[in-house]
Structure 1
């Protein structure tokens, strides 16, 4: 939930509850006030009834009191004191039932005890209450609506610098020369936040440039001594004066140096991918490239007796050819390297995804760890950078990738539309 929505929701709920409570209390107070006026009027009418009876020595006729209903009931003795209350009565003049207010009291009339009940209509008073209530509440409600609309407008206008700051943060790129843009604002808190972000971004860019330069220089500088070591080892291996033990030691050194060379190349490649230095992109037909890779790896698959099953559809992607080659080499190369003799490799390509599955000796990889750098299964002799490079290439092109293990097959799926990754993974599994 957005901050504006949360704030406006709390404000709206609080205002609505407050308005309901105030409206109820106002209506109750107004009703009590008008009831007291009506009770005073009924008390005066009772006095007039008593005076009329004392002077005329007879009960007053009902028609003399047009807006009242007067009832007399003979009782044996006085007992009921004056009592006011609300009731529903039949108005003979209007020929309908309506709400009313009554006064009931035991009195002595013409020397006899009677219980008199005087009922007055509340319709006029109810209309008066409604009119007063509407006159007061409707303007308050209108004012509340105006305040909510004004508050929403002011909040949006006030938070515009924050939105711009957030937009600048999202678009901030370390590889761009342009620094973090200042956002003009008169609000002290946003100005302070803006200054802090600008300062942090400048320090990050400075540190990033130093680390990037160091990594590139270190990788390039390592190439020369590694090449010299390889050349010297080649010369020593060609010598005829070496013993068997010395030859084996040199072979081990040569293999170790080869691993070091590959490690250096992999780390340099990761640096280039991380820094988005490989920007050459073109429309590539993956089906054609996969067929070429099948031919390229054919000798290796035949040596291990691996059955390769292809199910390819034509699909074109905008990618770096160099990175696409590395992506396919790593996926297919891993499928061969970690397979067993007489195993199987299945490769499927359609418009949504590329799926590479293979049999293997090892158990399932940890799905959350498989693409981390230097992670490898216990049976692997590699350096644990192949899948990390694959993931970096995939993320650079805004694709998705996932690993799964089903029915004895280690499967890697590259999703060309990352939003459909979950459903496609279930289908391929």
Structure 2
């Protein structure tokens, strides 16, 4: 939920609840006030009845005016003191039922006890109460709506610098030369936040440049001594004066050096991908590239008795040929390397994505860290950088990648999303 929505929702709910409570209390107070006025009016009528009985020594006849009804009935004993209440009565003059306010009291005259009931219509007072209520509540409601609109407008204007800060953060790229764009604002808190982000971005960019430079230099500097070591090992292996043990040790050294060379190349490739230094993009028919790769790996699959099943459709992508080769080398190479004797590899390609499935170990990879650097299964002899490189290539081209396992089959799926041959990926 957005901050504006949460704020407006709380404000609206509080305002409505407050308005309802105030309206109820106001209407209740107003009704009590008008009832007291009616009660005073009824008392005056009762006093007139008493005055009439004192002078005439008899009760007046039953009377029904337009908004007043006077009734009295003879009773045996006094049981009721003065009592007020609300009622519904039939107005004979108007010939309709109305709400009214009544006053009852027992009076004694000439040795007889009578119960007098005077009923006054509440219609006029109810109309008066509604008019007063609407005259006061409607302006309050209009003021509340106006305040909500003004608050919404002001909140949007006040939070514009914050939105701009978010946009600048999302568009900030460490590989770009330009610094974090500052936002002009008069709000002290946003200005402080902006200054803090600018300061942090400059420090991060400086640290990133130093790490990038160190990694590139270290990778390049390592290649020369590794090449020298490989050359010396080749010369020593060709010597005829080596014993069997010496030859075995040299072979182990040669393998370790080869692994170190591959590790250095992989790390250097990751640096290049991270920094988007490989820009040799072209329109590739992925089906043709896959067929070439399968022909290259054919000898390895035949040696292990692996059956390769393909379902390929023509699909073109704009991407680096070099990175496409590395992507397929890792996916297909892993499917062969981690397969079992006489296993299967299923490769499917369409406009939606690429799926590479292979039989193999009965335990799945940890899908949470499968694409992390240096992660590998216990049975793997690799360096754990293949899938990390695959992930970097996929993310560079704004694709998606997933791993799944089901009944002995491992599947890696690369999704092209909505990119097509006619729409650039980057």
The corresponding residue for 2:285 is 285
Cα offset, 1:110, TM superposition:
4.4
Cα offset, 1:363, TM superposition:
2.7
Mapping 1:377-416, distance limit 5 Å: 377-416=377-416
Q: Could you tell me how far apart the structure 2 residues matched to 1:379 and 1:35 are?
A: 91
- Between the two proteins, the alignment pairs up a number of residues equal to 419
Mapping 1:201-216, distance limit 5 Å: 201-216=201-216
The corresponding residue for 1:226 is 226
The corresponding residue for 1:422 is none
Q: Could you tell me how far apart the structure 1 residues matched to 2:214 and 2:143 are?
A: 64
Structure 2 length normalisation: TM-score? 0.96
1:65–1:297: structure 2 CA closer, same or farther, 3 Å change rule? closer
The corresponding residue for 2:166 is 166
- Please say if 1:138 is aligned against 2:134: no
RMSD: 1.5
Q: Could you tell me how far apart the structure 2 residues matched to 1:409 and 1:66 are?
A: 94
The corresponding residue for 2:105 is 105
Q: Could you tell me how far apart the structure 1 residues matched to 2:309 and 2:76 are?
A: 113
Cα offset, 1:395, TM superposition:
1.2
- Please say if 1:324 is aligned against 2:339: no
Structure 1 SS opposite 2:226: helix
The corresponding residue for 2:315 is 315
Deviation digits for residues 319-377 of structure 1, max 9, x if unmatched?
11111110000001111112222221111111112111112246322222211111111
Cα offset, 1:303, TM superposition:
1.6
The corresponding residue for 2:239 is 239
Deviation digits for residues 258-313 of structure 1, max 9, x if unmatched?
00000000000111111122123222111111111111111111222211111111
Mapping 1:311-390, distance limit 5 Å: 311-361=311-361, 363-390=363-390
Structure 1 runs (4+) greater than 4 angstroms displaced: 62-66
Cα offset, 1:206, TM superposition:
0.4
Structure 1 SS opposite 2:411: strand
Deviation digits for residues 116-169 of structure 1, max 9, x if unmatched?
000000000000000000000000000000000100000000000000001100
Unaligned runs of 5+ in 2: 420-426
Deviation digits for residues 30-88 of structure 1, max 9, x if unmatched?
11111001000000001111222222333324457443111111012223111111000
Q: Could you tell me how far apart the structure 1 residues matched to 2:361 and 2:81 are?
A: 103
Q: Please, which moves more after superposition, 276-285 or 378-387?
A: 276-285
Cα offset, 1:111, TM superposition:
4.3
- Please say if 1:259 is aligned against 2:227: no
Asked if the contact 1:100–1:120 (Cα under 8 Å) also holds between the matched residues in 2, the reply is yes
Cα offset, 1:107, TM superposition:
0.8
